[in-house]
Amino acid sequence: MDYRVHSGQIEEDQVSSYLESQSAKVPSSFYLGAALASMVTSLGLKAAGKDHAALFIGQWAAPFLIIGTYNKMVKQHGSDSISKAA
């Protein structure tokens, strides 16, 4: 049995569409800069001996990069093929 979702089969909800339209306004380089800034800040905190804060801030880099990748994909491919056809 084939359980894959095919293009145009399921429509995105309004919340997802709104979030994608708002995040698409932010340049993709912002997310890369935010990831680098979190790494540099984490390094500074680690050097200052604030290990817990350094770990907390350092873990922000991966989510920023993931959000940036998602943002880039939405800009290139759109969010919903049904809305493209309409």
Q: Is the pLDDT of residue 86 over 80?
A: no
Q: What pTM did the predictor assign? A: 0.72
The closest alpha carbon to 30, from 57, 72, 68, 69, belongs to 68
- C-alpha 44/C-alpha 15 separation (Å) is 37
Name the strand (E) or helix (H) holding 1.
Answer: none
**pLDDT of the residue at 85:** 53
**pLDDT of the residue at 77:** 72
**pLDDT of the residue at 64:** 94
What's the pLDDT tens digit per position in 25-67? 888 889 999 999 999 999 999 999 999 999 999 999 999 999 9
